[in-house]
Amino acid sequence: MALIVQKYGGSSVASLDHIRRVAMGIVTTKSKGNKVTVVVSAMSGETDKLLGLAGQVMSNPPGREQDALVSTGEQACAALMAITLESLGHRAKSYLGLQLPLITDQVHTKARIVELQSDILHDDMNDGIIPVIAGFQGVCDNGSITTLGRGGSDTTAVALAASLKADCCEIYTDVDGVYTADPNICPKARHLKKISYQEMLELAGLGAKVLHARSVELAQKYQVPLVVKSSFGGEKHTWIVNEEDVMENSVIKGVTLERNVSKISLIRVPDRPGIAYKILSPLAETSINVDMIIQNASTDGFADFTFTIPTTDLEKAQELVSKIAEEIGALEMLAENNIVKVSAVGIGIKTNPGVAARMFKSLSEENINIEMISTSEYRISCIIEEKYGELAVRAVHKVFGLDDLNHTKDGEHKHE
Ligand code: ADP
Ligand code: ASP
Ligand code: MG
């Protein structure tokens, strides 16, 4: 008998039929003698629909109200799942984040979990009840509802698995595991049986949305056995494990595409100490995550200063930075959101010189211009024009020998 946390993403609960199919799977797991806690996302498309409604009212709605609105998607789905389980003759109870409680900080729309109480769920499971938790949401210390950022239900599931000391956390989604690139963009992507927490964290942080980056971080920290499976059945799956448990270690483990990227440039900024701090500190204070930063060489005491941020924060960032631009006497501020970030990820990068050059060569062969570059021990990232994003993923995937040569025309992968 095991204690299992199962998380079902939006596409797995897209309709009442989907919910019923998922509920039957949950019942099967339970009837094998396991204890099960379920986490659900909103039904597919629901979060976008709610955000769209708010966006019709105003372009940058207050975070508190946006969270109150979008958290209802998960609320409805958790209750529907519990009702469906009851209809199948099993006792079930839905919970919102605030009913556990799952307590977060006050950073609306991208809150982090600070405390999670799960005793009530142990009691339920001991009584034969299946708890169904609305993912993605929590409550902060002033009582307001918060959300954990797009894709955050994965993090709810892993946090619950850690708190419940579950034997395993299963993430059910619309793909049968983690691939070397998004299989919907790169048909020759290879399925991975295992990937290390560290590499998965890099992939997730750089746009591979199959797992929310925070969920991988928590799984590594609390050593939660984490597996990604398809909610539509099949044998394939991917385990996220410690680095020493991954047998084969290629130089590059995967390629990602991050679409939620914009850049802001300040032209002719006075080149003197404290300027970067002055430009970026208001962004840090409002929890806007600045990623790549470039300051070009100074000529005649002036330099251009460019940085990237998530597109979802662009409007707010423009508001803050335009004030600073005026204060420091910059010539002008430019913003661009038709860019994407393509990254190659792998623990082999730090020990293999020439990896970056191969990536740049593959992009140049496709005539793709690189606007910004950043590297770390584990990754190389390039900012390019949005329209070349998918082509770039396929080109970089190929140059590192990741293409699945057994791939057949109809998208089937014959071997792993
Ligand atoms: P859910 O709604 O179940 O949480 P998501 O849409 O958040 O599902 O995540 C699953 C999607 O992640 C897949 O449909 C796929 O397009 C995308 N994806 C991106 N990168 C990868 C990757 N390396 N491996 C597998 N899937 C990936
Ligand atoms: N429903 C939320 C989203 O679409 C959270 C999730 O699915 O994990 O981002
Ligand atoms: Mg997701």
Per-residue pLDDT of 65-115, as tens digits, reads: 999 999 999 999 999 999 999 999 999 999 999 999 999 999 999 999 999
| Residue 312: pLDDT over 80 | yes
Q: Which of 40, 46, 71, 74 to mutate to test the pocket of ligand 2 (most atoms within 8 A of CB)?
A: 74
Per DSSP, 211 falls in state S
Locate 234 and state its tokens.
Answer: 């099949």
Specify the length of the chain in residues.
Answer: 416
Give the closest ligand to the alpha carbon of residue 14: 1
For 401, half-sphere exposure in the C-beta direction (CA atoms, 13 angstrom radius) is: 4
Q: How far is the CA of 93 from the centre of ligand 1 (A)?
A: 28
Work out the pLDDT band at 272, boundaries 50, 70, 90.
confident
Please, which pLDDT band fits residue 374 given cuts at 50, 70 and 90? very high
The pLDDT, as a whole number, for residue 408 is 54
Residue (of 211, 90, 119, 232) closest to 157 by Cα position? 211
Measured by CA distance, the residue closest to atom 1 of ligand 1 is: 9
Surrounding ion ligand 3 within 5 Å at CB are 9, 151
- Report CA(269)–ligand 3 centroid distance (Å): 40
Atom of ligand 1 nearest to the CA of 9: 3
Of residues 404 and 76, more confidence is placed in 76
Ligand 2, residue 73: give the atom nearest the CA: 1
Q: In the prediction, which pLDDT does 331 show? A: 94
Per-residue pLDDT at 167: 98
Greater model confidence, 323 or 411: 323
Is the peptide bond between 101 and the residue preceding it cis, with omega within 30 degrees of 0?
A: yes
> In this predicted structure, what is the pLDDT of residue 415?
41
pLDDT at 243: 84
DSSP assignment string, 138-202 = EEETTS-EEE--TTTHHHHHHHHHHHHT-SEEEEEESSSS-BSS-TTT-TTPPB-SEEEHHHHHH
User: Degrees (nearest 5) of the Cα angle 181, 216, 210?
Assistant: 35
Q: How confident is the model at residue 356 (pLDDT cuts 50, 70, 90)?
A: very high
Residue of 19, 209, 229 with the most ligand 1 atoms within 8 Å of its CB, for mutation: 209
Calculate the alpha carbon distances from 123 to 36, 162, 164 in Å.
Answer: 12, 17, 11
Q: Which residues line ligand 2 (CB under 6 A)?
A: 9-10, 41-42, 47, 73, 135-136, 150-153
* Ligand 2 atom 8: residue of nearest CA: 151
Ligand 3 center to residue 8 CA distance, Å? 9
Q: Whose CA is nearest to atom 5 of ligand 2?
A: 151
Judge contact between 326 and 310, C-beta under 8 A. no
Mean pLDDT of the chain: 94
Query: pLDDT grade, residue 416 (50/70/90)?
Result: very low
Specify the 3-state DSSP secondary structure of 263.
Answer: strand
What global pTM score does this model have? 0.94
Residue nearest to atom 21 of ligand 1 (CA): 182
Mean pLDDT of 389-408: 91
**Average pLDDT, stretch 174-180?**
97
Task: Quote the ligand 1 centre to 142 CA distance (angstroms).
Answer: 34
Q: What is the CA radius of gyration of the chain?
A: 23
What pLDDT is recorded for position 413?
A: 47
pLDDT value for 127: 97
Rounded CA-CA distance 71/95 in Å is 12
pLDDT digits (tens, 9 = 90+) for 121-148: 999 999 999 999 999 999 999 999 999 9
CA 145 to ligand 3 center in whole angstroms: 20
The Å distance, Cα 269 to ligand 2 centre, comes to: 39
Domains of the chain: 3-174 (3.40.1160.10), 262-336 (3.30.2130.10)
**Predicted local confidence at residue 347, as pLDDT:** 83
Ligand 1 centroid, distance to 175 Cα (angstroms): 7
pLDDT, tens only, 200-240: 999 999 999 999 999 999 999 999 999 999 998 889 999 99
